Structure 1
Amino acid sequence: MPQTTEKVARPPVVAPPSPRTRAPRRVRLWGKATPWLFLAAPLALLIVFTYAPVANMLAYSFTDWDGVSPELDYTGADNYVEIFTRPELFRVFFVSAYYLAASAVQIAAALYFATILSFNIRFRNFFKGVLFFPYLINGVAIGFAFLYFFQDGGTLDSVLALFGYESDHAWLSTSTSANISLAGVSVWRYMGLNFVLFLGAIQSIPGELYEAAELDGANRWHQFRHIIAPGIRPVLSLSVILSISGSLSVFEIPYIMTGGATGTETFVIQTVDLAFRFNKTGLASAAAVVLLLIILAVTWVQRRLVPDDKVDLT
């Protein structure tokens, strides 16, 4: 019988993997350096116009420099001791209470308008522009405009006269009425910023959540309470931080309208007067450092009390 030869199938020959070619060293170094090249310009501007002035301010706070003389003497912590031993330097912080109250009104009004205009209503784009427009105006122009608004026989008195109320009250003549008037101006000016922040945060919430809430029978209040309010919590926390820091460092509007007279002087106006009116730049630098530390401390406490947790609405 003839013998049959069986062919045995051989496994395919697999070529060994070729070693991975590495890019030249110059290319790798260039790839690592490229992001820093883009960051070089903004970092240089940040260092030159932010960190370097802060470092100089901190250095001047330990001297008796008058802001003019090329000579200055190191005085140690004498400026800080003077700040904390003179109650009148901290008494101006009571004025910030008016602006803190105004900030609460401002945030509440901005949140209200942002919630209303986030829904489909008529002329909402027009009202968005009206609410945001004051924030675009220069602070000095706003100060001069409202200076004529609150003067005797000015715009406010004329408007009140149309409703039969004859006012002989000088709105900027007493401490209480002047601070309330100035705080009201700050509400009008800065509400647009909070309004835009809240509106952007509300519009970032998925629309499916509103549709599901409507199917479950939720009204507008329920949607705000259970969808909008939790969804914009990080932005709300940011607005509170900005409002508190802004209330402690108010300058433009009271400086233009009253110059700090009639009990409207703020801590920043007092610091500017120390530096440029009384030629105590060293003491003014120490006051600025103290204000910076107070704002950082308030921000830290606020972040500890209200941590910025990730919001999950699903």
Structure 2
Amino acid sequence: MTQRAHVPWLYLLVPLAFLVAFTYVPVVSMVVHSFTDWDGLSRDREFVGAENYVDLFTRPQLFQVFAVSLFYLAGALLQTGLALYFATVLSFGTRLRGLFKGIFFFPYLINGVAIGFVFLYFFQPGGTLDTTLAVFGVQPRLWLGDPDLVNTSLAGVSVWRYAGLNLVLFLGAIQSIPPHLYEAATLDGANRWQQFRHIIVPSIKPIISLCVILAVSGALSVFEIPFIMTGGANNSETFVIQTIKLAFTFNKVGLASAAAVVLLVIVLLVTWLQRTLVPEERVEQS
């Protein structure tokens, strides 16, 4: 019996070793570096205490980039709404449902670097978007060169890429709802909207909460798409891009580590606040 109790831990040994080596050790190392003045190359790491954190919070311009995250947050909420809508439509026996699921989910499978380069051509002057809009009489715009348009354009790319992931999560949750609930609702004269409001939404509330948490944390830590498409130019720099520049352009690894710790704390705090304000309820399906 004792030997059998150790068997699961033997299977978990390798995954746990990878988890510790590639997650917890780097996090601890990042926290340690945040209290040092290190350039990332030299062997000497001067301990400076909380000086990096004081530097962060006394330079408001370092936090002004969080305003860019509002565009991605709005896009994330939009993609969540669109994913919920299409998941609901596809759950009601739509023809070619498998094809549509594949079409929606396919962008999430594409490498982010490839997506960035594809949309560089899409948004370039005289490119695909300008050519399409010209049919409707819309003049060409500098979609990535205009500071008033660049963040909206980049957030639109994020919506296109990640909506499919939310759709699959919602669709799986909706399909787990017992069919007899729909049958009872239909017998009572409930239409599709009423079934969505009183059956689907309450039943998949934990998944909706999860998607909102992912949306908020993703909006705060967005990096890949703006870094590839603009490099943070034209008022599109995010907090993570700024942190990367601090570490690898200005060789301030200690300050960059402090910024990363602050971002981690903010994400955890936002998640905790959401869990506190909107507690997860146990859904009874009968």
Give the shorter-chain TM-score range.
Answer: over 0.9
Which SS does the other structure have where 2:40 is aligned?
Answer: coil
Q: Which runs of 5+ in 2 are unaligned?
A: none
Find the partner of 1:125 among 90, 98, 119.
98
Deviations 1:11-37 (A, max 9, x none): xxxxxxxxxxxxxxxxx3312211211
* Aligned pairs (5 A) from 1:92-241: 92-165=65-138, 167-241=139-213
- TM-score of the two chains, using structure 2 as the length reference: 0.98
The answer to whether residue 21 in structure 2 is matched with residue 48 in structure 1 is yes
* Root mean square deviation, CA, Å: 0.8
Any idea what the Cα deviations from partners look like across 1:261-297, whole Å, max 9, x if unmatched? Answer: 0000000000000000000000000000000000000
Distance in 2 (CA, whole Å) between partners of 1:46 and 1:58 is: 17
- Give 2:11's aligned residue: 38
**Which residue, 78, 81, 87 being the options, matches 2:54?**
81
Determine the C-alpha separation between the residues in 2 that align with 1:187 and 1:146: 13
Deviation, 1:313, is: 3.8
SS at match of 2:105: helix
Tell me if structure 2 keeps the 8 A contact 1:227–1:313: no
Aligned to 1:71, the other structure's residue is in SS state coil
Distance 1:276 1:193 in 2: 32
> Structure 1 residue 39: deviation in Å?
1.1
Q: Distance in 1 between matches of 2:59 and 2:146?
A: 25
Q: CA separation in 1, counterparts of 2:78 and 2:5?
A: 49
Which residue among 238, 244, 252 is the counterpart of 1:272?
244
Matched residues in 2 for 1:224 and 1:32: separation?
45
The whole-number CA distance in structure 2 between the counterparts of 1:253 and 1:88 is 22
Which of 296, 299, 302 aligns to 2:271? It is 299
Structure 1 runs (4+) greater than 4 angstroms displaced: none
What residue in structure 2 maps to residue 16 of structure 1?
none
Distance in 1 separating the partners of 2:142 and 2:73 = 24
Counterpart in the other structure of 1:260: 232
Structure 1 gap ranges (5+): 1-27
In the alignment of these two chains, the number of paired residues is 286
The one-letter amino acid of 1:281's match is V
Structure with higher Rg: it is 1
Give CA-to-partner distance per residue, 1:118-144, whole Å, 9 cap, x none: 011211111111111100000010011
Percent of aligned positions that are identical: 65
Quote the Cα distance in structure 1 between the aligned partners of 2:99 and 2:140.
36
C-alpha offsets along residues 236-283 of structure 1, whole Å, 9 cap, x if unaligned? 000000000000000000000000000000000000000000000000
- Greater shift after overlay, 235-244 or 154-163? 154-163
User: Does structure 2 retain, via aligned residues, the 8 Å contact 1:90–1:267?
Assistant: yes
Residue equivalent to 2:260 = 288
Q: Distance in 2 between matches of 1:171 and 1:42?
A: 44
Counterpart in the other structure of 2:281 = 309
- State the secondary structure of the residue aligned to 1:67: coil
1:21 aligned partner? none
Task: In structure 2, give the amino acid aligned to 1:205.
Answer: I
SS at match of 1:181: helix
**Distance in 2 (alpha carbons) for counterparts of 1:90 and 1:191:** 28
